[in-house]
Amino acid sequence: MSTVEQAVETVEPTLGRGRHIGLAITALALGGFAIGTTEFVTMGLLPQIADGISSSNARTGHIISAYALGVVVGAPVIVSLGARLPRRGLAIGLVLALGIGNALTAVAQGYEQVMVARFVAGLPHGAYFGVASLIAASLVAPERRGRAVSGVMLGLSVATVAGVPASTWLGQGLGWRSAYWAVLGITVITALGLLAFVPASRGNPAATVRGELTALTEPRVLFAMGAGMIGFGGIFAMYSYVAPLVTDVADVSDGGVPVFLLAFGIGSVLGSWLAGRMADWDNVRSVLIGFGSAVGVLLAIVGVAGIPVLLWVMVLLLGMLGSVLAINLQIRLMHAAGDAQMLGAALNHSALNVANGLGAWLGSVVIAAGHGYRAPSLVGAGLAVAGLVLFALGLLRKDDTPAV
């Protein structure tokens, strides 16, 4: 029996005929919606938060890094410690922990307290997607597992289109703390949905922390993680500076920037839908196509950045490719991790948060060097090429395990 079938077996015996699989995946996706909202709303409310805690925008921006650090640390630690726990219970616990992190943010009274609260809020992020993805994959037939995983990740994409703008508007109108209280409410609704619609499932009684972390020594895991950390950084290198690119190069007013942010969000939603179907077709080729296409789009942005309509289309395409890559890299990591599939899925989110920081930093370096706002896209294309090469090198490893 394959490792995937063993993972599925822990859930499938509990499924009754006529279970509402769609509602179960929707409940799992709602947790992703809460995570996406809390992760990105901080950027939209940064000036309000800075005023509220009497800090500068630059210094307050470090709370975004604190959340990302929580994701990187929490994913492997929580999944390794929780692999033996019942999966539905673990998912519920993680989404409630996310709620607690947001409540702590809402009541924090100073810079240091907000920093700690954002770190705490980030801890369950990757672990939740790890267990949620494994649950979703186990609810459906093998040929539909890619779509099930993408259904969970769709919640994250929808958050960029709906959750973040709505919570930003709420925070601007009622005070920045209200946005985090709203996320707390979403996590409670999610927990109730998980309890109502997700079937009970046992964990892996044979799992050990050492055994789970052994996946980190698997070369295919390391290559896939490296591809995500570096290659996906190419998308963040460009997107981190999309606002000045739009205003200074495309000569669009500040009021037009949200239109380009919306393009990226719409692309992310469309990409999440497409990614699941591509994964069910061929997961490996989907990653290769995703990286290759990202290189092309990033290079195109360098050339068309001065033409608003074409730039808008390229930003939308980049959002699509971001979702295609994120979801298919996650499925690849679930595959490469063998028995530690939940850890593999969680590690993807650690890798993507490293990519976020790497891409933004390298983009800032070329801008500071005086190369202008097109340069981060050129850097991004280079990072995407590096990710493609790393991923291809990982494919040279012997691989006998059936794909998810």
Buried b (16+ CB within 10 A) or exposed e, 246-280: bbebbebeeeebeebbbbbbbbbbbbbebbbebbb
Looking up residue 144, the CATH number of its domain turns out to be: 1.20.1250.20
Domain extent at residue 290: 213-404
Domain end (from 207, 228, 243):
207
Considering the domain architecture, whether residues 143 and 231 belong to the same structural domain is answered as: no
Judged against a pLDDT cut of 90, whether residue 39 lies above it is answered with: no
Q: How far apart are CA 313 and CA 310, in angstroms?
A: 5
- State residue 66's pLDDT score: 87
Considering the domain architecture, whether residues 263 and 287 belong to the same structural domain is answered as: yes
Query: Quick one: pLDDT band at residue 1, thresholds 50, 70, 90?
Result: very low
- State residue 181's pLDDT score: 96
Considering the domain architecture, whether residues 129 and 248 belong to the same structural domain is answered as: no
- State residue 204's pLDDT score: 67
- Contact of 404 with 149, CB cutoff 8 Å: yes
Buried b (16+ CB within 10 A) or exposed e, 186-200: bbeebbebbeebbbe
From the list 243, 183, 222, the residue with the least C-alpha distance to 337 is 222
Q: Lowest mean pLDDT: which of 91-105, 290-304, 365-379?
A: 365-379
For 192-209, the pLDDT digits (tens) are: 999 999 888 776 666 666
Domain end (from 207, 235, 268):
207
- State residue 31's pLDDT score: 94
Q: How far apart are CA 34 and CA 11, in angstroms?
A: 25
- What percentage of the chain has pLDDT greater than the value 70? 89
Angle CA(28)–CA(401)–CA(403) in degrees, nearest 5? Answer: 40
Considering the domain architecture, whether residues 152 and 263 belong to the same structural domain is answered as: no
E-only strand ranges, 273-370: none
- State residue 354's pLDDT score: 87
Considering the domain architecture, whether residues 297 and 373 belong to the same structural domain is answered as: yes
Q: Lowest mean pLDDT: which of 4-8, 166-170, 301-305, 361-365?
A: 4-8
Q: Structural domain tally of the chain? A: 2
Considering the domain architecture, whether residues 200 and 324 belong to the same structural domain is answered as: no
138-147, 148-157, 314-323: range with highest mean pLDDT? 314-323
Considering the domain architecture, whether residues 160 and 244 belong to the same structural domain is answered as: no
Considering the domain architecture, whether residues 193 and 282 belong to the same structural domain is answered as: no
For 91-124, the pLDDT digits (tens) are: 999 999 999 999 999 999 888 999 999 999 999 9
Q: Which residue has the higher pLDDT, 395 or 47?
A: 395
Average confidence (pLDDT) over 305-333: 92
Q: Which residue has the higher pLDDT, 297 or 16?
A: 297
Considering the domain architecture, whether residues 141 and 79 belong to the same structural domain is answered as: yes
Helices (H), 369-400: 375-395
Considering the domain architecture, whether residues 245 and 166 belong to the same structural domain is answered as: no
Judged against a pLDDT cut of 90, whether residue 191 lies above it is answered with: yes
Considering the domain architecture, whether residues 201 and 350 belong to the same structural domain is answered as: no
Q: Is 26 exposed, middle or buried (0-12, 13-18, 19+ CB in 10 A)?
A: middle
Domain end (from 191, 207, 223):
207
Judged against a pLDDT cut of 70, whether residue 401 lies above it is answered with: no
Considering the domain architecture, whether residues 229 and 101 belong to the same structural domain is answered as: no
